[in-house]
Amino acid sequence: MITRYTNPKMANIWDEKNRYKQMLLVEILAAEAMAELKIIPMNSLKTIKKNAKININRIKEIENIVKHDVIAFLSAVVETIGEDGRFLHLGMTSSDILDTATAVQLRQSTKLLISEMKKLSVILSNLAVKYKMTPIIGRTHGMHAEPMTFGLKVASWYCDILRALDRLKLTYKTISYGKISGAVGTIAHLNPEVEIYVCRKLHLKVEPVSTQVIPRDRHSIYISTLAHIGTSLERIATEVRHLQRTEVAEIEEPFIKGQKGSSAMPHKRNPIIAENICGLARLLRGYTITAMENISLWHERDISHSSNERVILPDASIILHYMIVRIQNLLLGLTVNTDNMQLNLNKTKDIIFSGTILLTLVQKGISREFAYQIVQSATFYARDMKISFENACLQSKDIKKYLTVQEIQYACDIKSQFKNINYIFKRVFNE
């Protein structure tokens, strides 16, 4: 991933240094298991652990000749060990190292994502509670619908992130599998205890049937989960973009001192953070197709997955981490314009209470069809005559025939819409 969208914490997990570090750890743990099983001399193990070093430049030099990254890695490491290096990689195949080391990186990556998602959930929780009773117009089809609260809108985002966290935790279990089963996965040249030992030390489970590789549905689930989370962040960002529009201006993402919004128009304060998140979410979703196509490999393995996984696994991880941190900053610096929220509520006056009047009439025993007809007539009359909906109802002989003045006034009071907000918050936040 390009530096612009990379946070060092996640980049360090996926850089060459950590990748080779985990590969060497897998080899050393396998040697430890073999030494305990008396397959290799204990003194040789001590030499391996003492002398084994990683020289990335040397690995690349060898790979330029052998055209095989794992052989190049092993050859470079063996050079640092000496004669006892012959006991490294005994009975193993390339995927034993690669897939098991990748599982460790995926676990590290997922842990970091879970940590950042938890921070995001706290930010959303605080925002929702702060604006729990702050009125805002609810919109459907982009049009004014009924009043709600800004806190309730944020609470919906919060629940989305909690679901995403659950999926991420499940994914953590899904990708926590390793394999030391040799060529085509038969464990023909290994003691099964080696696989058990290595996986236990790395906090991995043993892949039940690994062929020569760990089945790629695990990796596909990882990528799909990240794409789902990216889409959840896009949902928040899309709403920020809508609510920041000039005609709405109910919220605004951070705009720091010295920042410029447009090269041509000095007045612009564009929602660039939210737009950036939406754009990257599209990129994440694109990776899911590649990850799914990696599931169907030829026979026990091929390496058609290998080339693209070198891109999609680190890139998807780095992108999502960047997105989570960025949306945290957006929400922490969010400007909430409650005055504009009220102004927008007032734009359609009180016709937004038409649904309440409708239900009140139905409860009086009127057919829904007739109730809808007379309420709709009152809303049109209010709009045409530029009077309040409450007054239109009071002037409607059909409505006044069934409802008292007090019932009409209560139905057109915004407080009637919020009587169960506390119940919802108690359900979500255990208040």
- Name the domain boundary from 286, 318, 342: 342
Annotated catalytic residue, options 262, 296, 304, 367: 262
Q: What pLDDT, on the 0 to 100 scale, is given for residue 431?
A: 57
| Positive/negative CA dihedral, 153, 154, 157, 158 | negative
For residue 283, the enclosing domain spans 92-254+263-342
Answer whether residue 124 is part of any domain: yes
Instruction: State pLDDT tens for residues 60-109.
Output: 999 999 999 999 999 999 999 999 999 999 999 999 999 999 999 999 99
Residue 249 and residue 195 in contact, taking contact as beta carbons nearer than 8 Å? no
CA distance 78 to 222: 34
Instruction: State pLDDT tens for residues 113-168.
Output: 999 999 999 999 999 999 999 999 999 999 999 999 999 999 999 999 999 999 99
Same domain as 224, residue 361: no
Q: Compute CA distances 211 → 87, 216, 219, 299, whole Å.
A: 24, 11, 15, 9
Q: What percent of the chain has pLDDT over 70?
A: 100
Strand locations in 243-336 (E):
251-252, 335-336
Taking Cα atoms as reference points, which of 391, 366, 365 lies closest to residue 379?
391
Same domain as 276, residue 197: yes
Answer whether residue 294 is part of any domain: yes
Instruction: State pLDDT tens for residues 382-408.
Output: 999 999 999 999 999 999 999 999 999
Assign 21 a pLDDT band (cuts: 50, 70, 90). Answer: very high
Catalytic, 141? Answer yes
Same domain as 245, residue 196: yes
Annotated catalytic residue, options 141, 263, 267, 299: 141
Answer whether residue 428 is part of any domain: no
Assign 265 a pLDDT band (cuts: 50, 70, 90). Answer: confident
Same domain as 406, residue 364: yes
CA distance 322 to 326: 6
Residue 357 and residue 366 in contact, taking contact as beta carbons nearer than 8 Å? no
Same domain as 391, residue 268: no
- Where residue 324 sits, what CATH number does that domain have? 1.20.200.10
What is the 3-class SS of 145-168, one letter each residue? EEEEEHHHHHHHHHHHHHHHHHHH
Structure tokens at 321: 């981490």
Answer whether residue 83 is part of any domain: no
Same domain as 389, residue 331: no
Residue 366 corresponds to which amino acid? I
Assign 262 a pLDDT band (cuts: 50, 70, 90). Answer: confident
Structure tokens at 68: 């095989």
Catalytic, 377? Answer no
Answer whether residue 390 is part of any domain: yes
Domain count, the chain: 2
Same domain as 338, residue 296: yes
